[in-house]
Amino acid sequence: MRKHLSKLYVQVLVAIVAGILIGHFQPDFGTQLKPLGDLFIKLIKMLLAPIIFASIVVGIARMNNIHAAGRVGLKAVVYFEIASTFALAIGLVVVNVIRPGHGMNIDPAHLDGSSVATYAAKAHQQGGALDFLLNLVPNSVVGAFANGDMMPIILFSMLLAIALARLGKPVEPFVDMLDMFLQGMFGVVRIAMYVAPLGALGGMAFTVGKYGIGTLVSFGELILCLYLTSALFIFVVLGTVMRFCGLSIFQFLRYIKDELLVTLGTASTEAVLPQMLVKLEKMGIPKPVAGLVLPTGYAFNADGTAIYLTMAALFIAQALNIDLSLWDQVVLLGVLLFTSKGSAGVAGAGFVALAATLASMHRIPVEGLVLLLGVDRFLNESRALTNLVGNGVATIAVARWERTLDVETARRVLAGGGDGVATTPAEPLVVATVKGS
């Protein structure tokens, strides 16, 4: 029993169950536990900027060929767009077949848009594609690190890494120092993971306590529809990608079970980004590929969010009895390909992207978002889980495409189910260093 309880995924699972029970039977107390979840997420977010920076700089700077970094980045972007398109299309098909909003017959005139005004304002502030590109370049590098703006940090890291790689031997001591700094950051992550069960407990207790299990019944068809669609995407689409890579999606899910449960409890993929980097490197993916593709995927490859966006938009239209033609839905899909990327790094990204999409189409009132407010936290868990798996598979696929994935090592590690991997507080943290990959 003590051996099982020492494992992180068991501790988190127990915390999730306890959080549900507390939230259901003591809702007032459950809502007061929200700071536990927020504190854990803030603790991990504190480490994200330095870890992403050091991972990208060390990885690219140690590449023998700078052109390889550009090639990896281009392949990652191509993969992200293909995967996002599949996710959007699958969501569109399923929501048209099941029609979870049909029969609600809500009058748009009775909707109170004041509760979603903040999201609509953020969507308006995002602007178009040009504004998004301009925001990639920060006014200050220090400001980008202070605010935790992921895309500007990635851009700066790539530029610095390319500069260091071109300078060669004279700057190798600096790159080695950054590598040692990265090991220290992963050591801090190991310490932070001691409180992961508390974070999961607080997050789940708050969700159930504030919104109630009754919310699950009221919007049960939509929630079930989203979770089934996400499972379909993971096991069919991502499973097919893994088979092309010579690996098993089921073994991969078992391998990252700790990260999946932490994500379920906190509804945040950022909370497990450092551990995912470690596990992907342990699988035989070179540090340059893992360090570049995974953080970039967090900003550009939100498969779960893509599924949610199509289903949520059509759900609102169905609930308000707004008939969208096939062409309207094709336009919706095209708009979502851009708005789902433009929300990267924004708090409440899914809601902001949805608000931006509805505002740009002028067919579905933005006020319809109010229908999803109470249930969004439950939907967010599905989005986060799918995003996590999608980015892990994306990193594996790009490494395989680059022919840098050690398939035999990956099969051996996945067959072991992740035993001995550094994600539990009781286990040592191991980070593979790949030079000249």
CA–CA separation, 201 and 22 (whole Å): 9
Please tell me the least confidently modeled range out of 261-275, 333-347, 360-374: 333-347
Does residue 11 belong to any structural domain of this protein?
yes
Question: How many structural domains is the chain composed of?
Answer: 1
Mean pLDDT of the 279-303 span: 86
Tell me what pLDDT residue 122 has: 56
Mean pLDDT of the 197-216 span: 79
CATH number of the structural domain spanning residue 140? 1.10.3860.10
pTM above 0.85, yes or no: no
Tell me what pLDDT residue 191 has: 86
Please tell me the least confidently modeled range out of 23-32, 214-223, 345-354: 345-354
Mean pLDDT of the 14-42 span: 87
Does residue 420 belong to any structural domain of this protein?
no
Tell me what pLDDT residue 344 has: 47
The residue type of 433 is T
Tell me what pLDDT residue 432 has: 35
pLDDT band at 3, cuts 50/70/90? Answer: low
Please tell me the least confidently modeled range out of 55-69, 142-156, 271-285, 343-357: 343-357
Does residue 425 belong to any structural domain of this protein?
no
Tell me what pLDDT residue 431 has: 34
CA–CA separation, 41 and 429 (whole Å): 20
Contact 337, 81 (CB under 8 A): yes
Mean pLDDT of the 267-287 span: 87
pLDDT above 80: residue 212: no
Mean predicted lDDT score pLDDT of the chain: 80
Does residue 424 belong to any structural domain of this protein?
no
pLDDT above 90: residue 79: yes
pLDDT above 90: residue 413: yes
Mean pLDDT of the 420-431 span: 38
pLDDT band at 428, cuts 50/70/90? Answer: very low
Which residues constitute the domain of residue 154?
2-415
Tell me what pLDDT residue 316 has: 86
CA–CA separation, 355 and 406 (whole Å): 42
Mean pLDDT of the 340-353 span: 58
pLDDT above 90: residue 252: yes
Tell me what pLDDT residue 230 has: 93
Per residue in 93-121, is it b (16+ CB within 10 Å) or e — as a string? Answer: ebbeebebbeeeebeeeebeeeebeebbe
CA–CA separation, 247 and 308 (whole Å): 27
For residue 297, CA distances in Å to 46, 70, 415 come to 19, 15, 25
CA–CA separation, 32 and 246 (whole Å): 47
Per DSSP, the three-state class of 4 is helix
Does residue 144 belong to any structural domain of this protein?
yes
Tell me what pLDDT residue 57 has: 87
Best-predicted range by mean pLDDT (72-76, 122-126, 143-147, 342-346): 72-76
Does residue 343 belong to any structural domain of this protein?
yes
Tell me what pLDDT residue 265 has: 82
Contact 365, 356 (CB under 8 A): no
For residue 308, CA distances in Å to 204, 223, 356, 377, 400 come to 20, 10, 14, 12, 28
pLDDT above 70: residue 414: yes
Does residue 165 belong to any structural domain of this protein?
yes
pLDDT above 80: residue 405: yes
Does residue 432 belong to any structural domain of this protein?
no
